[in-house]
Chain A
Amino acid sequence: MESAAYSADLAAVWLTLKLATVVTLLLLVIGTPIAWWLARTRSIFKGAVGAVVALPLVLPPTVIGFYLLVVMGPHGPLGQLTKSLGLGLLPFTFPGLVIASVFYSLPFVVQPIQNAFEAIGERPLEVAATLRASPWDAFWSVAVPLAKPGFLSGSILGFAHTVGEFGIVLMIGGNIPDKTRVVSVQIYDHVEALEYAQAHWLAGGMVLFSFAVLLALYTFNPARRKTP
């Protein structure tokens, strides 16, 4: 195997880890308030918001990818916005991949955290309130620690799902080395070019990685026993 090909593979691995890390952190910041709201609200919009969050679970990635390409493109609303802000266009850039990934991995982070918040119930928060904890304080010192298993599952699933995503990245990435050429695209390229040996070591690595992630999830997560 040539060293140039090797270094292209390593660059793809590094880029993928970078993307998944950034996306997971952003998802925790964005997903937590959404999960909290969904868990506590009695609003009539709860169903609609929950459905939008869950959309990426049912839509084929190429469909999401195509619409993201249209929305982020020069004629789409997001494209118009980023252009007028002087940020340029998002397709074919790393930030573009991050935004797309945040959208399609959202349910994988929101749903476990939401379930964990719902499992806490009213009681611990009422107790905290009677002890004069502000809602903000109660959230951080009661809800978050109790929902820790949900955060753990959400982070692991969000990270793993971002690593494994292919269809959307393919649609809006443009296969640019060090910017948008992630491992899944690199594997696809190797297979298409009939470079099966290289495809094997990357794909094998991905299988091992996914297994390790799920093993960690099922071994260390005590919440699995509680949630129905």
Chain B
Amino acid sequence: MKRLSTLILSLLALASAHADEVQVAVAANFTGPMQVISVLFERETGHKASLAFGATGKFYAQIANGAPFEVLLSADDETPARLVKEGNGVAGSNLTYAIGKVVLWSADPKLIDGKGEVLKKGGFKHIALANPKTAPYGAAAMQVMGKLGVAEQLKPLFVQGENISQTHQFVSTGAAELGFVAYSQVIKNGQVGSGSGWIIPGNLYDPIRQDAVILAKGKDKPAAVALLKFLKSDKAKEVIRSFGYELP
């Protein structure tokens, strides 16, 4: 009897909060943190976030062609800006929810030193990076190599993943000895979890700002607004930081 009344009470509470479902497109690199955040979000607000994970470029094409997403958590800040400019995003709703960090990583525990000297010394056949034309982490990797003056010398050794997860696979299988991956992919308890890595200092590349935006289909939708607000909350920030991202 007691359980039943709690159930009824919680149902009433949900109804009074105008519980709502929001369709969210999430950049693949943010899969881990977003799964945790969506649970917290649901618990906190009663709204439900239904998540789809994928490449930002693909989401852009889908949204421009009428996909039913209401919020986009992009892997960059350009795609949300472009969506707003083209009328598919709500102006002024852009928000930087995380800043990605790049790490030079190898599955070999001895290959990478704490300063990235290995890039100058060589002794490897392939270096993996995400496609710089399409992936922000790839563009950042190019900047790092450019600033260190090793880009030309390493270019013949490049192997490109189409996105950062594929780049991580190249390195984790050992097919490429080392590569530039997202810190969020290799972090474990606040440090590089396995192999060896060099967390690249922020002054060697432009910050990888990941922006969220409310899309035209989510305009004036309480759950969409609530989700963006929740991304700025301390609870969400703690999760985001624990996955190896920085915050604005």
Whole-angstrom distance between the alpha carbons of A89 and B159 in the complex? 13
B58 close to chain A: CB less than 8 A: yes
Query: A23–B162 Cα gap in the complex (Å)?
Result: 24
Asked if A91 and B175 sit within 8 Å, CB to CB, the answer is: yes
Given A191-B61, A193-B133, A194-B57, the answer on whether A175 and B175 have CB atoms closer than 8 Å is no
**In the complex, B49 has a CB within 8 A of chain A:** no
Give the interface segment out of A69-77, A107-115, A124-132, A146-154: A69-77
Q: Is the CB of A92 within 8 A of B126?
A: yes
8 Å CB interface, A164-193 against B: 170-172, 174-176, 185, 188-189, 191-193
By beta carbon, the residue of chain B nearest A181 is: B160
B166 located at the interface, meaning its Cβ lies under 8 Å from any Cβ of chain A in the complex: yes
Q: Are B175 and A73 in contact (CB under 8 A)?
A: yes
| Interface residues as binary, A134-173 with B (CB distance below 8 Å gives 1, 0 otherwise) | 0000000000000000000000000000000000001110
> Given A66-B169, A192-B134, is A74 in contact with B57 using a C-beta cutoff of 8 Å?
no
With both chains docked as a complex, state the minimum distance between the C-beta of A178 and any C-beta of chain B, in angstroms.
Answer: 12
Residues from chain B with a CB closer than 8 A to the CB of A172 are 175
Range class of the A interface residue count: 20 to 34
Is B128 in the interface zone, CB < 8 Å from A? yes
Neighbour of B166 across the interface among A70, A89, A91, A170, CB < 8 A: A170
Residue A33 at the chain B interface, CB threshold 8 Å: no
CB-CB under 8 A from B160, the residues of chain A are 174-176
B173 within 8 A of A: yes
CA distance A189 to B133 in the complex (A): 8
B193 within 8 A of partner (CB): no
The residues of A that contact B126 with a CB separation of less than 8 Å are 92, 174
- A residues sitting closer than 8 Å to B (CB atoms) are 66, 69-70, 72-75, 88-89, 91-92, 170-172, 174-176, 185, 188-189, 191-194
With A91-B159, A194-B57 given, name 11 new contacts (CB 8 A). Answer: A66-B169, A72-B175, A88-B125, A89-B125, A92-B176, A171-B169, A192-B55, A192-B58, A192-B134, A194-B60, A194-B61
Q: List 29 A-B contacts (CB under 8 A).
A: A69-B170, A69-B175, A70-B173, A72-B175, A74-B174, A75-B173, A75-B174, A88-B125, A91-B159, A91-B170, A91-B175, A91-B176, A92-B159, A170-B162, A174-B126, A174-B159, A174-B170, A175-B131, A175-B161, A176-B159, A189-B162, A191-B57, A191-B61, A192-B55, A192-B57, A193-B134, A194-B57, A194-B60, A194-B61
